[in-house]
Each structure stands twice: as C-alpha cells, then as structure tokens.
Amino acid sequence: MAKFRAENTINGREARLFLNGEEIAYAKSFEATIEKNKADVNILGNRWTGKKTTGLSGTGTVTLYKVTSRFTKMILEYADSGKEVYFTLQGVLDDPGSGRGTERVTLLNCNIDSVKIGQFDVEAEALEEEVPFTFEGAEIPEALKEDF
C-alpha cells in the first residue's frame, strides 16, 4: 500500500479559472457538484425503499472579487433580449509542489442563477460577489494521478 505524504496535498492557491477560454484572474473560489437524481422504487416484500438513478444535475458557485460587472451584464442581456447566455467554465488545478499532476475540469452549458445588481459595504476591505450557476455536462480531459 502506498504511503500518503503531506507534500502530495494540493495548494488551492495554485488553481486557475477560465470562462470561455479567458482566465478570470479575479476569481477567489470555485465549486461545482454533480448530483444524481433518483426515483423511489418500492418492492413487495422489501422494507427498504430502492433508488433508481434517473439523471444528473450540475450546480456550482464562483466567488469573485467585485472588480467588474461582467456577470450582471449576462443577466441583463437576458432581461433585455430574452436570449439566455450560456458559457463554459474550466477549473485548472496544477500545484507543481505536490507532484500529483494537473486536473482540468470543464463544465459545459453553464447558466447563471442569480447575481447581485448592487452591493456596498463600509466594513469591507475588498467586495466579493457569489455567482451560483447550473451546468449540463462535464469533462475531465486531464486528471490527477491515482497512485502515490
């Protein structure tokens, strides 16, 4: 069995985020989750409720330093034209100190759920905005190493 070493952990600061191929340098954090949608299946003679996977749904959140109105403009484009704005997000983990390799996670058909239209905070040293979104597909063209 391989022995885990602390140096194999990945420094989260070594990540980068891209929107339609353009790096979002003002991103602070990124998280995406794929959840299985399941239907209950009751079976005669069995007290347990079975589960049947019927599909998937993807949700995520990007936290950004407030330095642009880019995401607000995406929502307003829909408000003005009725045309939805879809985009691709790609998160890249590449910590050269860990030796685990590079992981690229690409999220397809991303669509914003909500944005703050205005924000002020006299106590904040740096304003942040959280942008929740959904996505309809994912790829991992490069993955971290499986063995130590």
- 4 within domain boundaries: no
- 48 within domain boundaries: yes
The share of the chain scoring above pLDDT 90, in percent, equals 78
Please state the rounded mean pLDDT for residues 93-113.
92
- 61 within domain boundaries: yes
Predicted local distance difference test score (pLDDT) of residue 148: 66
pTM for the model stands at 0.89
Residues in the chain: 148
DSSP E strands in the chain: the ranges are: 15-19, 22-23, 27-42, 49-65, 87-94, 102-112, 128-135, 138-142
The domain of 83 spans 14-142
Furthest-apart CA pair in the chain: how many Å? 63
- 49 within domain boundaries: yes
- 46 within domain boundaries: yes
What single letter denotes the amino acid at residue 46? N
Q: In this structure, what CATH number is given to the domain that contains residue 40?
A: 2.30.110.20
What distance in Å separates the CA atoms of residue 11 and residue 105, rounded to the nearest whole number? 17
- Name the domain count of the chain: 1
What distance in Å separates the CA atoms of residue 18 and residue 132, rounded to the nearest whole number? 16
pLDDT higher than threshold 90 for residue 12: no
- 6 within domain boundaries: no
- 136 within domain boundaries: yes
pLDDT higher than threshold 90 for residue 36: yes
- 30 within domain boundaries: yes
For 42, list phi and psi in degrees, rounded to 5: -90, 135
